[in-house]
Structure 1
Amino acid sequence: MNSKLKLLAEGQNGVFSRGQAADCGYTPGQIRDRIRDRRWVRIRHGQYAEAVDLSHLPPWEQLLLSHRRLVHAVMNSMGADTVAVSHQSALALHGVPLWGPDLTEVQVSRMDTHRGGRIGGVRHHRGRLTEADLTVVSGLTATTVSRALLELACTTSFEAAVVSADAVRRDFPVSPDEWQRLQAATEFWPGSATARAALAFSNPLSESVGESRLRVLAHSHGLPAPVLQAEFADALGFIGRVDFYFAGYRTVVEFDGMVKYAGNTRERLIQEKLREDRLRALGLQVVRITWADLADPARVVALIRAAFARA
């Protein structure tokens, strides 16, 4: 890619149009050649990007990055000031973790009199947007983090809403007055009850998508509310923080605790083993839950309840 097109694409999350490529000196034949040999990939009709290898990323991160490109491709082909990126598409632009919502189509909210509905892989929403609801992210007009979160929460599952709500409360401080304003504005929206419940349940101490999902799973199956990020120490000093501590049952639950440690796999295993031994020496039960376990909620609940019984 020549330097002129590269600079332009960098400002659009790697996306550029056929017209922009032509303006930067590429002939129709050169464009066809680059698509044919897969140096460039088609994001949507008339919108392209350089091919990148995402295989080193987990599947959900690949989806998120691909969706951001799709958002830029859509906005690059639409009239300025007609729509704002919204819902999960806005959260993706803001860098908020997502789990569960549909990322196959781009979500926008109309800022003109155009009707809503699905058109060409884009979901158009009707709604009143004020200046307080709008911002600019990566050069695109989008709803604010707080507005986008409530838009998502009204249109998705409780689990998906909590995953993003935990992250927003952790990484994007929003004033109580702003939450009040938005909840009043969305009070009678379809799905607003789910949004209110997810926001009330959310906790900024959840440090990852997996922890948020595990917390929702435990809540849904009637387990007691755990203490998050509890700290433990022994005669040797500080042991560490744990993801979940069920104090009434002297049980610690860790979600994929291996990611807490730097270094190679062997060092991680040794550090984790020593850490767990020290926790157990305090009379605690320790349960580790992995991503694969979340696919079998009954097994997760059985493991935790078995630890309660041993304690």
Structure 2
Amino acid sequence: MSPLPRLILTRHLAEAGASTRPLPAAVKAGSLVRIRQGVYVEASAWAELAAWQRYRLRIEAVAETAILPVTFSLHSAASVWGIPTIQRGQPIHALTLFRGGGRSRAGVRKHLVEPGTVDAEIVDGLSVTSRQTTVLDIAATVPFAEAAVPLDHVLRPDSSRGLPALTKAGLLAAVAGRYSAAAERRVRSAVEFADFRSGSAGESYSRGLIHMAGFEAPILQYEVRSSTGRVAFTDFYWERSRTVGEFDGIEKYLKPEYLQGRTPGQVVVDEKLREDRIRATGRNVVRWVWSELWRGELEGMLSRAGVPRRPRSSSGRSNGPGTQNRPWDTRI
């Protein structure tokens, strides 16, 4: 992860004998952003951060201003570990042993745990729940499609951090007795559904939505070939309708590892030519982006393309529309 901007803490200024009185004026003038009481960051640096980076910086701010040591959990622990999640509107999640401290306050959601049950590690100087606990707790508290994102990720080695892949067997073994019966069923279903072949958070989330919409399971990372050889590897493929599905994340147009020396404009042209080659094999192509996932448009797009549905008797039951909780509704 690229370095986050430096936090400006009022307590550090006070300890150094510097005045904190100019800070509110700097916020009003637009040169500073206040991200938490007593914590500021330069506005120019803040403007360049992606949403997930801003969330990560808010975690740092909570750690810096907490009266007692904090152990972060759920999406906050995942952020520190570098595990992708669906973060829309997430508060900062932290564990508490105090039964009167389970309410949100100042953007922090406290989760009650019993003494001696916290499975925590120190990562980047922060106390966080272990990778295994983190992804299982998320799976217990979010809709099915969202649970696929962190679970798919941890089934692959994290080469950037030198972390090994977790296994389904290990995850399932850790579930028993940790959650309510209903939550345990949700977690087990999500773990069994997880697949290390999903190449990104967007692909994982899409795969979960595809499943919940009742479509047949696609072939992942499918190799399209013509009479002259390989044409492309695709994110999703349905043989019965000869449909290729492609999640189009913004990363390929911005990150150097995807650009590979090309301009974003060249990537757009290359993607169009690649799609033309796929269509030339007699297959149809459906592409979607994050905004279409947020608007719930994926099901209609796949239906119009003729993607087949599963028989009703085999539909998944976990985290169906009647059981989807908001991420902060369930205690862990």
| Alpha-carbon contact 1:154-1:189 (below 8 Å) kept | no
Q: Please point out which of 33, 38, 56 is paired with 1:46.
A: 38
Task: Read off the aligned partner of 1:70 and give its amino acid letter.
Answer: R
Q: Please point out which of 230, 237, 244 is paired with 1:252.
A: 244
CA apart distance, 1:303: 2.8
Whole-Å separation in 2 of the counterparts to 1:298 and 1:225 = 13
| Alpha-carbon contact 2:9-2:38 (below 8 Å) kept | yes
Whole-Å separation in 1 of the counterparts to 2:24 and 2:68 = 28
Q: Please point out which of 9, 17, 23 is paired with 2:9.
A: 17
CA apart distance, 1:111: 4.9
Structure 1 291/12 Cα, relative in aligned 2: closer, same or farther at 3 Å? closer
Structure 1 283/31 Cα, relative in aligned 2: closer, same or farther at 3 Å? closer
Whole-Å separation in 2 of the counterparts to 1:126 and 1:215 = 32
CA apart distance, 1:29: 3.2
Is 1:272 aligned to 2:271, yes or no? yes
Whole-Å separation in 1 of the counterparts to 2:112 and 2:290 = 37
Q: Secondary structure at the match of 1:28?
A: coil
**Structure 2 partner of 1:7:** none
Whole-Å separation in 1 of the counterparts to 2:107 and 2:87 = 18
- Aligned counterparts, 1:192-271, within 5 A: 192-256=184-248, 259=252, 262=259, 263-271=262-270
| Alpha-carbon contact 2:247-2:289 (below 8 Å) kept | yes
Is 1:191 aligned to 2:183, yes or no? yes
Q: Unaligned 5+ residue runs, structure 1?
A: 1-9
- Aligned counterparts, 1:1-311, within 5 A: 14-53=6-45, 61-62=50-51, 64-81=52-69, 83-100=70-87, 102-103=89-90, 105-111=91-97, 115-128=101-114, 133-172=119-158, 173-176=165-168, 178-188=170-180, 191-256=183-248, 259=252, 262=259, 263-294=262-293, 295=295, 296-305=297-306
CA apart distance, 1:53: 4.5
Task: Read off the aligned partner of 1:153 and give its amino acid letter.
Answer: A
Task: Read off the aligned partner of 1:182 and give its amino acid letter.
Answer: A
Give identity over the alignment, percent: 29
Structure 1 157/101 Cα, relative in aligned 2: closer, same or farther at 3 Å? farther
Task: Read off the aligned partner of 1:301 and give its amino acid letter.
Answer: L
The alignment's TM-score, normalised by the length of structure 2, stands at: 0.75
Whole-Å separation in 2 of the counterparts to 1:277 and 1:107 = 45
- CA RMSD across the alignment: 3.2
CA apart distance, 1:251: 1.9
Whole-Å separation in 1 of the counterparts to 2:97 and 2:11 = 26
CA apart distance, 1:177: 5.7
Task: Read off the aligned partner of 1:18 and give its amino acid letter.
Answer: T
Q: Secondary structure at the match of 2:180?
A: coil
| Bigger shift: residues 23-32 or 209-218 | 23-32
Whole-Å separation in 2 of the counterparts to 1:213 and 1:174 = 19
CA apart distance, 1:174: 1.6
Aligned residues: 293
Whole-Å separation in 1 of the counterparts to 2:190 and 2:205 = 12
Whole-Å separation in 2 of the counterparts to 1:156 and 1:53 = 31
Q: Unaligned 5+ residue runs, structure 2?
A: 159-164, 310-332
Residue-by-residue CA offset, 1:121-175 (whole Å, 9 max, x unaligned): 3211112475882111221111112211122222221122112222232354124
Q: Secondary structure at the match of 1:244?
A: strand
Task: Read off the aligned partner of 2:102 and give its amino acid letter.
Answer: G
Whole-Å separation in 2 of the counterparts to 1:257 and 1:151 = 26
Whole-Å separation in 2 of the counterparts to 1:31 and 1:48 = 8
| Alpha-carbon contact 1:257-1:288 (below 8 Å) kept | no
